[in-house]
């Protein structure tokens, strides 16, 4: 039986062989791999890019104190970005399933319509959820817009739900029972994360503190965005990447406040707008800043 980490290693190997940079997880908390700069910023502009990374994705509202066999506060996504999307992208994707030992002649695979939209990121795409014997194992999206900007090259984004995929391959009914390695189960590694973050997010997070943090991060991002000058001579020095980190913090704080039940109806739409504003600000300036990098410098 393949362990959780063997499956991850094989998938990384597979995509590395297809020209992907293998990145490590981004070190700021995110709700999905899409939000990492490796996706959110890299899909912008005219430069081709290929990257794959595992991203722990935190969704405060999905926490279940470690009680629910299928639902997690923090799950692991394998995020693959192929920009531009190759013509045989689906065949390549199917190959990745074969690479982890799924004989596609013996299993049922369906592509069911599932478009993706993130109002906070000003992003949307068209695609499917990929169903393997009735189980959703991958979200497949052709990005169309990001940070409110129409994308010049259309990237394909593949997001594998690694816990689900592993539970499928290891034939386990609960993600906690999957083998991370021969010696350690998923429960051994992650149970306390689930329990403690659920307690924090639902019960103990201090609402005024979170609001204060939200405003601090928002303020810092906004301050930087105001300072960006497209006419400046050395604009590649300008810290847009740090500005984006503050956007990510805001997004996660919003999710935590939401799980905590601290966001009223009237506030909600407004907060999403506020995050969107700084996210879009970073994206626009990023496109401008990238014009300083000659296309040829980006290795294919």
Partner 1 sequence: MTVPFLLEIGTEEIPDWMIPGALESLHMLFEKTELPHESVRLDATPRRLVLRADGLPERQADSEERILGPAKSAPPQAVAGFARKQGVRPEDLCLESTPKGEYYSFVKKIAGKRTIDILADSLPEMILQIYFPKTMSWTGKTGARFIRPIRWIVALLGCDTVPFELAGLRSGTLSSGHRRLGSPEVAVTIDDYDQRLRDHYVIISAEQRRQKISREMAGIRVKTDPALLETLVYITEFPTAITGSFDSQFLDLPEEVLITVMRHHQKYFSVEDAAGRLAPQFVAVMNIDSDREGFVRRGNERVLRARFNDARFFWETDQKRRLEDRKDDLARVVFQAKVGNYYDKTLRIEERVQSMGGDAHASRAAGLCKCDLTTELVMEFPELQGVVGGLYARAQGEPEGVWQAIYDHYKPDSMEDAIPRTRAGMLVALADKLDTLNACFSVGLAPTGSRDPLALRRAAQGVVRILVEGKIGVFLHQHVGGEALISFLKDRVRFYFKDVRGFPYDEVNAVMAAGWSNLVEMEARLERIHALRHTPDFEPLAASFKRIRNILEQAKFTAMEPVEETLLEQDQERELFAEYKRIQGQPIENVISRLRPKVDLFFDKVLVNAPDLRIRQNRLTLLDTLLREFSTIADFSEIVTTS
By CB under 8 A, name the binding residues for partner 1: 67-71, 84-85, 87, 90-91, 94, 104-113, 115, 125-126, 128, 132-135, 142, 144, 150-154, 168, 171, 173, 261, 263-265, 268-269
* CB nearer to partner 1: pick between 13 and 115: 115
3-state DSSP assignment of residue 116? strand
* Shortest distance in whole angstroms from residue 244 CB to partner 1: 23
At residue 135, the 3 state secondary structure works out as strand
How far is Cα 96 from Cα 88, in angstroms, rounded to an integer? 13
Pick 152 or 215: Cβ nearer partner 1: 152
Our CB check for partner 1 shows the closer of 133 and 206 to be 133
Q: How far is the CB of 108 from partner 1 (least distance, A)?
A: 4
Helices (H), 200-264: 207-227, 240-259
Strands 116-118 and 123-132, by their bridges, are antiparallel
The distance of closest approach from Cβ of residue 162 to partner 1 in the complex, given in angstroms and rounded to an integer, is 16
- Measured from the Cβ of residue 72, the count of other Cβ atoms closer than 10 Å reads 27
Q: Cβ neighbours of residue 30 under 8 Å, at least 6 residues apart?
A: 36, 55, 57, 58, 248, 251, 252
CB of 155 to partner 1, least distance (A): 10
Report the nearest approach of partner 1 to the CB of residue 152 (Å).
5
Rg (Cα) of the chain, in Å, rounded?
20
**DSSP 8-state code for residue 85:** P
Closer CB to partner 1, residue 121 or residue 151? 151
Residue among 235, 237, 205, 240 at smallest CA distance from 220: 240
The residue among 111 and 242 lying less far from partner 1, judged by its C-beta, is 111
Nearer to partner 1, 45 or 248 (CB): 45
Q: What is the DSSP string of 138-166?
A: EEEEEEEEETTEE-SS--EEEEEEHHHHH
Shortest distance in whole angstroms from residue 39 CB to partner 1: 18
């Amino acid at each position: 039986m393949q362990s959780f980490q063997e499956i991850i290693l094989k998938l990384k190997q597979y995509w590395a062989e297809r020209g992907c940079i293998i990145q490590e997880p981004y070190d700021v908390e995110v709700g999905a791999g899409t939000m990492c700069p490796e996706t959110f910023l890299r899909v912008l502009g005219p430069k081709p890019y290929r990257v794959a990374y595992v991203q722990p994705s935190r969704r405060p509202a999905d926490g279940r104190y470690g009680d629910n066999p299928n639902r997690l506060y923090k799950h692991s996504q394998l995020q693959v970005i192929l920009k531009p999307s190759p013509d045989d992208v689906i065949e390549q994707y199917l190959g990745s399933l074969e690479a982890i030992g799924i004989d596609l002649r013996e299993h049922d695979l369906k592509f069911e319509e599932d478009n993706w939209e993130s109002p906070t990121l000003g992003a949307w795409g068209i695609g499917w959820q990929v169903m393997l014997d009735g189980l959703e194992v991958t979200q497949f999206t052709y990005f169309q817009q990001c940070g409110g900007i129409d994308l010049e090259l259309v990237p394909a984004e593949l997001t594998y739900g690694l816990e689900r995929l592993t539970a499928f391959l290891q034939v386990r009914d609960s993600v906690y029972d999957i083998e991370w390695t021969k010696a350690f189960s998923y429960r051994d590694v992650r149970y306390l994360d689930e329990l403690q973050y659920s307690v924090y997010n639902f019960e103990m997070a201090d609402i005024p503190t979170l609001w204060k943090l939200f405003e601090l991060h928002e303020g810092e991002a906004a301050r930087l965005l105001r300072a960006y000058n497209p006419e400046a001579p050395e604009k590649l020095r300008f810290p847009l990447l740090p500005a984006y980190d503050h956007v990510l913090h805001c997004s996660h704080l919003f999710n935590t406040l939401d799980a905590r039940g601290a966001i009223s109806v009237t506030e909600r739409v407004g907060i999403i707008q506020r995050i969107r504003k700084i996210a879009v600000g970073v994206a626009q300036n990023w496109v401008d800043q990238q014009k300083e990098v000659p296309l040829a410098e980006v290795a294919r």
